[in-house]
Amino acid sequence: MKSLHLSTIAAIALCQPAFAQAPAAFETPVVLKAADLLPAEMLQGPTHRVREQVVTDGFLAHFEIDTDFGTFEAVGVPQVQRRIIEAEAIRKLVETSKGDLFAEGLKRSVTQPIDAVKNIAKDPVTSIKRAPKTVGHFFSKVGASVGRGAEKVKQSSEEGKSPSAGDIGNAAKNAAGFDKARLDTAKQLGVDPYTDNARLQEEMNKVTWAFFAGGLPLRVGAAVASAGIAVTATNMVGVPEETYALTQAELALRDNRSLTAMGLKEGDIKDFQIQPNLSTTRRHRIVKALEALPGAAGRGRIILLANSCETTAQADFLVAALAMLAERQASGAADYKDLHVFGRLPGATTASGTLEVPAPVDHVTWTEQVAGFAQRDDLGTAPKLLVHTGRLSEATLAGFTAAGWKTAAVAYPLR
């Protein structure tokens, strides 16, 4: 197993205020069993097996998933769920590519002016071995780093570092109707059409093109059905329904209009749309969350924060944190009036004056880093609530309580 980096809220560690007294004893991150974090039906399926030992870094769990298509790595429970669904989707696509209809579609597509199938990557991706990079810097107590986000976005864009899907040829990507066909394939499989799973992107492009160019209907069925998982795949991967209905360009236009209506600056919106660490789905989920907080001032601060994300792990944390706030607003659990960025950590103030900080985590242990966050002196004197997913150790719960915080456990956000 490769070495693991500190992740997500561990970043809070970089905020190192002096506090009145150190805790009597700190904990070390623990090694858990996958069954401690996942329901039994997710641990093993016809295409995958989650390895039993799961290392935590004090905040998030690091999983390894053996699949028929290589070993997938995942940081955090939501990403495990996505990878399981993606493995099932790949299996469905591979099975489809072995069928008679695929062969017929491939044969017909040869006569099409766009011969894209031969341009599909020759070396298939057999495993995904890149664990998300640490997002520690995301929680740095350096406010200026957010302001430099636009410059970094532009530089990455100019250097051509934006992530791309499987290579099916630019002509095929631009073929009239192909984008819609590919979205339909993703919807049938219940996966994110803009996933960073390279093998899945390759298989979706290959199969969709053969049927699209061959003029044949594609019916691959819902991959999640064979995984024995009770909830729908689209809920598990957190894909809003309109993501399947609108092309990438249409969705970008829709989101641009929404952000403009919120009063955001044109330059910030443009930077948001070219941020290389924000996939189309991530961008749309951020916009959707902000739309769900119509009475909250400071939404522009969140877009600046999004523009400063340096890794996809940072982006995923921000997306999940905003989704938690949006769900609390929708359920009536909170009524947010202002959004904040503390260093680079999002938070919100309710109408009653309580400061809520969302923490999409798996298992938090009481470390000096966590204590440093709990006793930060820059959060003001207002009542504070830590809204968290996953679990807090007994020592962590006691430490936050002693520092004047209340805590609220919630489910992992779905959308």
Hey, what amino acid is at 196? Answer: D
In the predicted structure, residue 26 carries a pLDDT above the cut 50:
yes
- Give 258-281 pLDDT, tens digit per residue: 999 999 999 999 999 999 999 999
235 and 371 fall within a common domain? no
Q: Judge if 46 and 186 occupy the same domain.
A: yes
Q: Is the pTM of this model over 0.85?
A: no
Q: 392 and 265, same structural domain?
A: yes
Q: What is the pLDDT of residue 374?
A: 86
Average pLDDT over residues 125-134: 32
- Higher pLDDT pick, 25 / 395: 395
Residue 12 has pLDDT above 50, yes or no: no
289 and 385, same domain (yes or no): yes
| Domain boundaries, position 210 | 29-121+166-239
Position 101 confidence tier, pLDDT thresholds 50, 70, 90: low
Q: Is residue 278 part of a domain?
A: yes
Query: Is the pLDDT at 52 greater than 80, yes or no?
Result: yes
Domain boundary among the residues 207, 239, 271 is at 239
Q: Mark whether 232 and 258 lie in a shared domain.
A: no
Are the beta carbons of 206 and 117 closer than 8 angstroms? yes
Residue 203 and residue 87 in contact, taking contact as beta carbons nearer than 8 Å: no
User: CB 39: neighbour CB atoms within 10 A?
Assistant: 11
**Domain membership flag for residue 24:** no
**Domain-embedded: residue 2:** no
Count how many domains the chain has: 2
218-243: average pLDDT: 60
Same domain for 352 and 310: yes
Rounded to an integer, the average pLDDT of 394-399 is: 94
399 in the same domain as 280: yes
Give me the pLDDT at residue 221, please. Answer: 61
Facing residues of 342 across strands?
345
Flag whether pLDDT at 117 surpasses 70: no
- Whether residue 145 lies inside any domain: the answer is no
> Are 260 and 235 found together in one domain?
no
Final residue belonging to a domain, choices 239, 264, 298: 239
**Portion of the chain with pLDDT greater than 90, in percent:** 47
| 138 within some domain | no
Lowest mean pLDDT among 39-43, 86-90, 144-148, 355-359: 144-148
In a domain, 47, yes or no: yes
pLDDT over 60 at 223, yes or no:
no
Residue 351: φ, ψ to 5°: -60, -30
pLDDT of 329? 96
pLDDT at 175: 57
- The answer to whether residues 197 and 277 belong to one domain is no
Residues 184 and 258 in one domain: no
Residue 254 placed within a domain: yes
**Predicted pLDDT at 354:** 97
Q: Is residue 352 part of a domain?
A: yes
Residue 414: predicted pLDDT: 72
